[in-house]
C-alpha cells in the first residue's frame, strides 16, 4: 500500500526565505550587481554560458547571483530558461577564420603568419596571491600597440596545403541536434561535438588528462588556440537574405595529433577540435583531446578500452545537469522505497537467525 | 561580379543587432522622430542555434544557442521594417525595426547620420582598442646565438 505523505510546506517556505537571506549575506557588505558579476567574474559567466548552452552574459551573471556562485546550479537555471525560448532558427556556421583575435597562440609554429598574441592570459603569472587586490586598487590601462594588418589564417591550413594533415569530411548542412532528439549511439561527430561543447569542464579535463597519461594516448600538440569575437549570421526568411544577429566570443582549439598511414596512403597527422562559448581555453583544449580520442573508429585505430574512447561512457556522463539531477535526487524522500528494503532485510535476518538456531539445537 | 543588392540593408541590420541596446535607445530618443506605425510582430524573445564546423572547415555542428529578440513594424506609408537583435531587450528590437523601416524612406540620411554613424563609430573604436591591446601582447621572438663553432 502506498500512503502519500503531505506536509512540509511551511518548512520549505521558511527554508527558501532563509536561502534568500543567506544569499544576500551580511547586509553591511554592499550587494553585488549583475553587471559587477558580468564584468568582474567574466570567466565564471563564460563557463555558465558554455555549459548552459546559451550565450547571454547578463542572464548567466544573474544565474550566478541567484545560485550563490554555485556554477552547476547556475547552469541548471540557464538550461531551464533555454527550454522556454522559441527557436528562431539556426545560424550559418561561424567563420572562426575571420575572428578578431584577443589571443592566438601556436605550440607548433613559432613564426606563424599573424604572430603569437598572448592576450589577457594567466599564463606566465606566478600564481602568487596578489594582496593588492584585497585593497581597492586602481588598474592602469594596458599598453597598446599598432594592430598588425596581417591576417591570422588558421595554422592548420599550412599543414593542409602540404597534405600533411587529415582532411575534415563534410557533413549535413543542418546537423543533428541533441536538444531536439534524444542522443542515440553511435553518435556522429556533429552530435559528439555538440555534446562536448556543453559538457562539464571538470569531467572533460579529467578525460583529456587521462589520454595524456596513456589511456588512449594520441600525442596532441596545440596547433592553434584562438580566442576572440566572431559574428553570428543567420538567414532571415522575411528578408530573404542573411544578416548578423549578434557577435559572440568563442575559444577554439585545434590539435595536431599522431599520424597514421596505410599501404595505400602515406602518413598524415590527425586532428582534434574544440570550440566553446566565451574565454574558456582549459575546456576547449580538453574538448579537442577528447574529440580526437573518440575518433578512433573513423581513423582506423584500435579500441584499447580507454574511458576517453568509449562514446557511451563519455557522452552519457559529461552533462553535469543530467548527472547532478540523478545524483542529487537520492537525497530526496525515498521513505517508501526504503521501507520495503527495511522489511526485506528484517525478513532475511529472521530467516537466517532461525536457521542458525535450528543448527545449534540439532 | 555583381554587387549584393541587399548589402546596405544587411549592413545596417547587422549593426543594429550587434550594438548595445542602451546605445540604440539613446540615439533613437535623440532623433525624436516618433513615426506613425503599426506593430506587425510584437517583440519576441527567442533563441538562435549557433553552429560551428568540425575542425573549423568540416561538417557543421550545433555549438549552443544565443538569445535574440525580434520585432516587425509597418510605417503609415506601408514600409515594413524588421529588427533582429542580440539579447533580450524588446525596446531594442522594436527600435531596430523602426530604424530598418525609416532607412527605406526619405528619412534615411538623417537616421544614418544621427544613429547609425555613431553606432558604427562605437563598434569600430571598441574593436580598434582591443586590437591595439592584443597587438601589445604579440611575442617578438629572438634567438640566442649559442657558441658552437
Q: A7 pLDDT band (50/70/90 cuts)?
A: confident
Q: How many CB pairs under 8 A join A and B?
A: 233
A103·B58 Cβ contact <8 A: no
Per residue in A107-160, pLDDT tens? 998 888 888 999 999 999 999 998 888 887 778 899 999 988 888 899 998 888
> Region A288-307: what's the mean pLDDT?
93
A87·B47 Cβ contact <8 A: yes
B58·A170 Cβ contact <8 A: yes
A94 vs A92: CA distance, rounded Å:
6
Which chain A positions have a beta carbon within 8 Å of B4's beta carbon? 241
pLDDT(A3) > 70: no
Q: B141 pLDDT band (50/70/90 cuts)?
A: confident
Diameter of chain A measured on Cα atoms: 98
pLDDT(A308) > 70: yes
Mutate to test the interface with A, among B5, B22, B43, B50 (most CBs of A within 10 A): B50
Per residue in A152-199, pLDDT tens? 899 998 888 888 898 898 988 899 999 999 999 999 999 999 999 999
Contact of A198 with chain B, judged by CB distance below 8 Å, is answered with yes
Least CB–CB distance from B47: residue in A54, A154, A240: A54
B134·A119 Cβ contact <8 A: yes
Least CB–CB distance from A144: residue in B64, B72, B136: B136
A259 vs A23: CA distance, rounded Å:
52
B82·A189 Cβ contact <8 A: no
Least CB–CB distance from A245: residue in B45, B48, B54: B48
Pick from A273, A282, A234: nearest CA to A93: A234
Q: What is the pLDDT of residue A2?
A: 56
> Region A262-268: what's the mean pLDDT?
78
Q: How far is B13 from chain A (nearest CA, A)?
A: 7
Answer for the pair B21, B89: CB distance below 8 angstroms, yes or no: yes
Per residue in A226-251, pLDDT tens? 999 999 999 999 999 999 999 999 99
Q: A264 pLDDT band (50/70/90 cuts)?
A: confident
Per residue in B4-55, pLDDT tens? 889 999 999 999 999 999 999 999 999 999 899 999 999 999 999 999 999 9
* Dihedral angle sign, alpha carbons of residues A59, A60, A63, A69: negative
Contact of A313 with chain B, judged by CB distance below 8 Å, is answered with no
Q: What is the pLDDT of residue A4?
A: 62
Per residue in B10-23, pLDDT tens? 999 999 999 999 99
> Region B86-102: what's the mean pLDDT?
98
Mutate to test the interface with A, among B60, B81, B82, B132 (most CBs of A within 10 A): B60
Least CB–CB distance from A246: residue in B4, B86, B133: B86
- The grid coordinates listed for B2 are 555583381
Least CB–CB distance from A190: residue in B4, B45, B60: B60
Contact of A94 with chain B, judged by CB distance below 8 Å, is answered with yes
A239·B9 Cβ contact <8 A: yes
Mean pLDDT of chain B: 94
B129·A144 Cβ contact <8 A: yes
Mutate to test the interface with A, among B6, B52, B86, B142 (most CBs of A within 10 A): B52
For chain A, give the secondary structure using H, E and C: CCCCCCCCHHHHHHHHHHHHHHHHCCCCCCCCCHHHHHHHCHHHHHHHHHHHCEECHHHHHHHHHHCCCCHHHHHHHHHHHHCCCCEEEECCCCCHHHCEEEEEECCCCCCCCCCCECCCCCCCCCCCCCHHHHCCCCCCCCCCCCCCCCCCCCCHHHHHHCCCECCCCCCCCCCCCCCCCCCCCCCCHHHHHHHHHCCCHHHHHHHHHHHHCCCCCCCCEEEEEEEEEEEEEEEECCCCEEEEEEEEEEEEEEEEEEEECCCCCCCEEEEEEEEEECCCHHHHHHHHHHHHHHCCCCCCCCCCCCHHHCHHHHHHHCCHHHHHHHHHHCCCCCHHHHHHHHHHHHHHHHHHHHHHHHHHHC
Q: What is the pLDDT of residue A77?
A: 98
Q: How far is B146 from chain A (nearest CA, A)?
A: 19
Q: What is the pLDDT of residue A1?
A: 53
Of residues A300 and A251, which shows the higher confidence score? A251
B48·A91 Cβ contact <8 A: yes
Q: What is the pLDDT of residue B143?
A: 65
Mean pLDDT of chain A: 93
A 10 A CB-CB count for A83 gives: 9
Q: What is the pLDDT of residue A361?
A: 86
Amino acid at each position: 500500500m502506498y500512503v502519500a505523505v503531505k506536509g512540509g510546506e511551511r518548512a520549505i517556505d521558511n527554508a527558501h526565505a532563509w536561502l534568500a537571506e543567506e544569499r544576500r549575506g551580511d547586509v553591511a557588505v554592499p550587494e553585488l550587481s549583475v553587471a559587477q558579476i558580468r564584468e568582474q567574474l567574466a570567466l565564471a559567466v563564460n563557463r555558465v554560458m558554455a555549459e548552459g548552452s546559451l550565450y547571454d552574459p547578463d542572464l548567466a551573471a544573474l544565474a550566478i547571483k541567484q545560485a550563490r556562485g554555485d556554477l552547476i546550479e547556475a547552469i541548471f537555471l540557464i538550461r531551464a530558461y533555454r527550454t522556454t525560448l522559441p527557436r528562431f532558427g539556426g545560424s550559418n556556421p561561424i567563420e572562426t577564420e575571420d575572428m578578431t583575435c584577443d589571443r592566438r597562440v601556436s605550440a607548433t609554429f613559432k613564426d606563424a603568419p599573424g604572430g603569437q598574441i598572448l592576450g589577457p592570459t594567466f599564463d606566465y603569472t606566478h600564481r602568487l596571491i596578489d594582496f593588492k587586490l584585497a585593497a581597492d586598487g586602481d588598474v592602469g590601462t594596458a599598453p597598446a600597440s599598432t594592430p598588425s594588418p596581417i591576417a591570422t589564417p588558421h595554422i592548420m591550413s599550412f599543414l593542409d596545403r602540404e597534405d600533411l594533415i587529415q582532411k575534415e569530411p563534410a557533413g549535413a548542412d543542418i546537423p543533428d541536434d541533441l536538444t531536439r532528439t534524444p542522443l542515440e549511439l553511435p553518435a556522429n561527430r556533429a552530435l559528439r561535438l555538440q555534446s562536448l561543447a556543453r559538457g562539464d569542464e571538470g569531467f572533460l579535463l579529467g578525460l583529456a588528462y587521462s589520454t595524456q597519461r596513456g589511456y588512449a594516448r594520441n600525442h596532441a600538440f596545440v596547433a592553434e588556440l584562438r580566442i576572440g569575437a566572431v559574428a553570428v549570421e543567420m538567414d532571415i526568411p522575411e528578408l530573404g537574405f542573411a544578416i548578423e544577429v549578434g557577435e559572440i566570443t568563442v575559444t577554439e582549439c585545434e590539435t595536431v595529433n599522431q599520424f597514421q598511414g596505410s599501404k595505400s596512403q602515406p602518413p598524415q597527422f590527425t586532428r582534434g577540435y574544440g570550440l566553446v562559448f566565451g574565454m574558456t581555453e582549459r575546456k576547449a583544449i580538453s574538448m579537442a583531446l577528447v574529440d580526437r580520442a573518440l575518433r578512433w573508429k573513423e581513423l582506423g585505430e584500435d579500441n584499447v578500452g580507454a574511458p576517453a574512447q568509449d562514446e557511451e561512457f563519455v557522452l552519457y556522463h559529461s552533462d553535469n545537469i543530467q548527472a547532478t539531477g540523478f545524483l542529487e535526487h537520492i537525497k530526496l524522500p525515498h521513505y517508501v522505497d526504503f521501507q520495503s528494503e527495511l522489511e526485506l532485510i528484517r525478513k532475511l535476518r529472521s530467516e537466517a537467525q532461525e536457521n542458525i538456531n535450528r543448527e545449534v539445537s540439532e | 561580379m555583381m554587387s549584393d543588392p541587399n548589402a546596405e540593408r544587411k549592413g545596417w541590420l547587422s549593426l543594429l543587432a550587434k550594438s548595445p541596446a542602451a546605445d540604440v535607445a539613446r540615439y533613437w530618443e535623440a532623433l525624436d522622430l516618433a513615426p506613425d506605425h503599426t506593430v506587425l510582430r510584437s517583440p519576441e524573445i527567442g533563441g538562435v542555434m549557433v553552429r560551428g564546423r568540425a575542425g573549423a572547415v568540416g561538417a557543421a555542428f550545433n555549438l549552443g544557442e544565443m538569445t535574440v529578440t525580434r520585432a516587425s513594424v509597418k510605417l503609415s506609408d506601408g514600409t515594413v521594417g524588421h529588427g533582429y537583435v542580440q539579447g533580450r531587450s524588446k525596446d531594442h528590437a522594436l527600435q531596430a525595426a523602426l530604424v530598418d523601416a525609416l532607412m527605406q524612406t526619405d528619412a534615411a540620411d538623417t537616421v544614418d547620420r544621427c544613429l547609425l554613424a555613431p553606432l558604427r563609430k562605437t563598434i569600430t573604436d571598441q574593436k580598434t582598442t582591443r586590437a591595439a591591446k592584443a597587438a601589445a601582447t604579440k611575442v617578438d621572438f629572438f634567438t640566442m646565438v649559442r657558441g658552437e663553432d
